[in-house]
Structure 1
């Protein structure tokens, strides 16, 4: 059963069509991957889906049968759709605990109960010795884990992860893969985008590839990455960037 349905979604910034007539569905319990070269519209699509900081210009989005394309980010989060960001965002002057409390207060569940917050922090590997520390004292990995904990404290039904492995070492990437799998095992549907293709390929059950704001292909990861159009999109982007 489709938990998320995206129909004909578009978003422009002046003459630039960042997302152009994109349609797809995400099944409940699925890990759904989103790939594409730089500038393909992946982060813009994440912004549109969560209403942070904007929705679509055109198209329809429904989450568990509720139309959300015209809703504010706060209302969408209350329905159970949470996200992380490319950078390991946190309120740096607040403690680890306080950051997770804010997530809990913003989300779908029963609020900022201590048990919810403690469980989310412990789940991502931030034990009690971290809870009173300012978040700006954490390592890059632990700040990313804190961002996940704040999202999990929202008790989401779907979690959108925007390049969660960026800036991590190889061992940290491997640890994050395991963490994402454990989140999925809890029944949380996951949509993720990532430039580290091994990360994306190891987790995704289906993979959608965007190029210049449009869907290039959608299917099983191995088949998608063998598609000559996908190879050209990535290699062409690298030639252009070099």
Structure 2
């Protein structure tokens, strides 16, 4: 049984069909990539899966065999499904440690006090944010540090699956390389990953399967190198350029 099943999910804003009958499955333990041009519905799809800030208008989302569409975002998170966002979304006035502690507490009713603090400390150390930085305000961090703080906050919730929305955006090449290695280490912990990214080399280096969206619909799905070689994908997403095999 797949860990995540998305079946004919749709979301509209007035006459705009942002997500239009999307279906796919993600197996436990894999890194599954999602690509597509700007406005293709990628982040809206993440929103409908996680319930943050809204669920789908129609269709079904199953996590570990159970339907979760219609549940509140915190209820979905407490089932083991966490996410990050395109922008470096942190509580800027709180410290690095307090941000991670919120993740440990919000998504796990059984964690509070010392347990939450221990989970936060472990997650921060895992992503490479050293203890001397834990007392800094999140708003003082660099873009890269804020991105990995988002990851630490999500990891502190002890998720079974992590949805990453453009983790490489606005990063330098060395920072992208560090992010690739970090995502591989997260997967090695047994966390299943669903990944949106515009940087194709990033997706290609990580994904076992690749889904391409265009205008809210599935354009292609399958082996990443086969998918990006399809003429309709080249036209919709890559223009006239092709990625070398």
User: Shorter-chain TM-score: which interval?
Assistant: over 0.9
Q: Which runs of 5+ in 1 are unaligned?
A: none
Which residue, out of 122, 127, 130, partners 1:127?
130
1:237–1:10 CA distance, 2 compared to 1 (3 A): farther
Inter-partner Cα distance in structure 1 for 2:180 and 2:239:
28
Quote the offset at 1:139 in angstroms. Answer: 1.0
Q: Does 1:54 align with 2:57?
A: no
CA contact (8 A) 2:234 2:240 kept: no
1:109–1:170 CA distance, 2 compared to 1 (3 A): farther
Query: What secondary structure is seen at the aligned counterpart in 2 of 1:120?
Result: helix
Residue 29 of structure 2 is matched in structure 1 by 29
CA contact (8 A) 1:109 1:156 kept: no
The TM-score, its normalising length taken from structure 2, stands at: 0.95
Q: Does 1:94 align with 2:94?
A: yes
Inter-partner Cα distance in structure 2 for 1:16 and 1:139:
36
Q: Does 1:233 align with 2:210?
A: no
Quote the offset at 1:108 in angstroms. Answer: 3.8
Query: What secondary structure is seen at the aligned counterpart in 2 of 1:116?
Result: helix
Inter-partner Cα distance in structure 1 for 2:219 and 2:102:
38
Query: What secondary structure is seen at the aligned counterpart in 2 of 1:10?
Result: strand
Inter-partner Cα distance in structure 2 for 1:26 and 1:86:
21
Quote the offset at 1:110 in angstroms. Answer: 3.8
Quote the offset at 1:236 in angstroms. Answer: 5.0
Residue 197 of structure 2 is matched in structure 1 by 194
Which residue, out of 146, 163, 166, partners 1:143?
146
Residue 42 of structure 1 is matched in structure 2 by 42
Residue 80 of structure 2 is matched in structure 1 by 80
Which segment is superposed worse, 102-111 or 26-35?
102-111
Inter-partner Cα distance in structure 2 for 1:58 and 1:222:
31
Structure 1 vs Structure 2 CA RMSD: 1.3
Inter-partner Cα distance in structure 2 for 1:109 and 1:223:
43
Query: What secondary structure is seen at the aligned counterpart in 1 of 2:90?
Result: coil
Cα deviation 1:201-232 (Å, max 9, x = unaligned)? 11000000000000001001000010001000
Which residue, out of 162, 165, 168, partners 1:162?
165
1:237–1:40 CA distance, 2 compared to 1 (3 A): farther
Count of aligned pairs = 238
Q: Which runs of 5+ in 2 are unaligned?
A: none
Moved over 4 A (4+): 235-238
